[in-house]
Amino acid sequence: MSSTPLRFPGPNRFRSDKEKDQTPEAKDRVVQQTDQDASQSRLSAVETGYLVDPFARAFVEGPVQKKLPLINRGTYVRTTAIDQLVTRFLTSTSSRKQIISLGAGSDTRYLRLLTTHRAAAASLLYHEIDFSAVTSRKIRALTRGAPSSPSSPSSLVSELLLSPPTALTDDALASAHYYIHPLDLRTLHPGCALPAGVERGLPTLFISECCLIYLAPQEADAIVRWITTDFSGDVGVVLYEPIGGEDAFGQVMVQNLAARGIVLKTLKKYSSLERQRERLRVLGLVGGQEAADVDFLYECWVGERERGRIGGLEMLDEMEEWRLLARHYCVVWGWRGGFGGWEGAWPVQGGSRV
């Protein structure tokens, strides 16, 4: 990225000429492709020693695409920070709970929970929502076989799920604890029909990792409004998103993505940590709102000994480039009700740096 020349876009820098010429279906396919990019990044971080994820290989076809050290480190921080929020929610009480992952793609979090917190997962409903083209790839991976050795069980579904599927199609799965829904997120809005198996009264955590950013602001806001109006129990939301599209580094980031037809549609409206917090408050998560960029999360949420381990995995030549990149991505979390012991649980970042 450091070799990319700085160019300063005009007023329409948050849009792409390539995107303007695409059909709606083609635009959706570009967004769907980002899931495969994320899978490769996750596998690269696993293979390099940043993360432990025995399921990452099952969702990547072909060879590992080794990522730059700063990408591997970013994937590590993103994954472990969200894992902390999820684990605190999951283990806060023994009561039944629900997690709904928006734009889940090939994410392996539920499979990992089944190995690390299996007892707690017995009281959990876990839903994943994504395009049919994406869920069908995941179903194929889940039913194809386990990722490790010839002695592995016949499939991830048969080995790991707490109960056998009650329904399984090319693009959907339903069981007593786990659902995969082939659904366009843009159909989620206040008053819409709930996906099968979703319970509106349970304490529910919603996760969106680089998902709402691809929707028009009114579409993304409608989803959060759906969460805060149609669910009667305690609710929490975790977002992972880019921020800071207006400085020189951010403009290059936006342009590089736009060259691939990827447009960050909510970036202009929610471009800072402060705006991200206010977003959640205005849309109904009135119990609390917090946000921190990836640089802060690495320095303040990762212990000194673990930072030493991470630093020894690969040579990171450009520390300033790492900090620039890390300050342009953030984790945002907010809640309504007595939610999972989040308040005061971690160091928080006082203000926006972008």
Which segments are annotated as binding site? 78, 103, 184-185, 209
Gap between the Cα atoms of 77 and 292, Å rounded: 11
In the chain, DSSP finds a helix count (H) and a strand count (E) of 13, 9
CA contacts within 13 A on the Cβ side of 244:
20
DSSP code of residue 131: -
Cβ(127)–Cβ(179) under 8 Å?
Answer: yes
End-to-end Cα separation, the chain, in angstroms: 19
- 5 CB neighbour count, 10 Å cutoff: 6
Cβ(228)–Cβ(336) under 8 Å?
Answer: yes
Gap between the Cα atoms of 296 and 70, Å rounded: 15
- 17 CB neighbour count, 10 Å cutoff: 10
The single residue listed with the structure tokens 């951010």 is 250
For the chain, the maximum distance between any two Cα atoms, rounded to a whole number of angstroms, is 57
Gap between the Cα atoms of 207 and 180, Å rounded: 14
Exposed/middle/buried for residue 269 (C-beta within 10 Å: 0-12, 13-18, 19+) = middle
Gap between the Cα atoms of 56 and 62, Å rounded: 13
Residue stretches of the annotated binding site for S-adenosyl-L-methionine: 78, 103, 184-185, 209
User: Token digits for 62?
Assistant: 């072909």
CA quadruple 188, 21, 105, 183: dihedral sign: positive
- 327 CB neighbour count, 10 Å cutoff: 21
User: Token digits for 36?
Assistant: 């495969």
Who contacts 220 (Cβ-Cβ below 8 Å, separation ≥6)?
Answer: 212, 213, 265, 266
